Amino acid sequence: MSKKDKQKPGWKSIPEGGLILEAGNAIKYKTGGWRTHRPELDMDKCINCHFCWIYCPDSAVVSEKKEVTGFDHDYCKGCGICAHECPVDAITMVKEEPSTEK
């Protein structure tokens, strides 16, 4: 068994039959680790059309006070749909390793 698996609860304390008894608990499942490419936003080019925000299948585009400010890397899977849909090419997909983010 892996170290990570050892820390999880055993069969005596989890719900039977694989049931999930807690509504909306998908928020605890952070899928950012699946990512191979990360979106990067060029704020100078961005026109705040929010196409990326609408298209993102994981609601991982962050919008604050009607402005797109970046991405929630806990949930962004790096699918690249935001970059594809951006009408002004303000989003580019960059390889996760090595990091280019400042």
Partner 1 sequence: MSNQVALTGNEAMAQAMKQINPDVVAAYPITPQTEVVQMFSQFVADGAVDTEFVTVESEHSAMSATVGAAAGGARAMTATAANGLALMWEIVYIAASTRLPIVMPVVNRALSGPINIHCDHSDAMGARDSGWIQLYAENAQEAYDNAIQAVRIGEHEDVRLPVMVNMDGFIISHAVENLELLADEDVKEFIGEYTAEHTLLDTENPIAVGPLDLQDYYFEHKVQQAEAMENAQKVVVEVAKEYKNLTGRGFEYFEEYKLEDAEIAILALASTAGTAKAAVDKLREEGVKAGLLKLRMFRPFPAKEVAKALSGLKAVAVMDRADTFSTIGGPVFADVRSALYDVKSDVEVVNYIYGLGGRDTTVEDLEFVYNDLQGIVNSGEVNKRVKYLGVRE
For 61, which DSSP code? E
| Closer residue to partner 1 in complex, CB, 10/98 | 10
Q: Minimal distance in Å, beta carbon 20 to partner 1?
A: 4
The binding site for partner 1 (CB under 8 A) comprises 4-5, 8, 10-11, 14-21, 23
Q: How far apart are CA 78 and CA 58, in angstroms?
A: 10
Three-class DSSP category at 50:
coil
Question: Residue 16 phi/psi, 5° resolution?
Answer: -70, 150
Question: Residue 32 or 70: which CB sits closer to partner 1?
Answer: 32
Q: Phi, psi (5° rounding) for residue 7?
A: -80, -10
CB of 35 to partner 1, least distance (A): 19
Q: How far is the CB of 16 from partner 1 (least distance, A)?
A: 5
Residues for the chain: how many in total?
102
Query: 96, 35 in Cβ contact below 8 A?
Result: yes
Q: Pick the closer one to partner 1 by CB: 4 or 66.
A: 4
Instruction: Tell the smallest beta-carbon distance from residue 56 to partner 1 (Å).
Output: 22
Comparing CB distances to partner 1, the nearer of 4 and 65 is 4
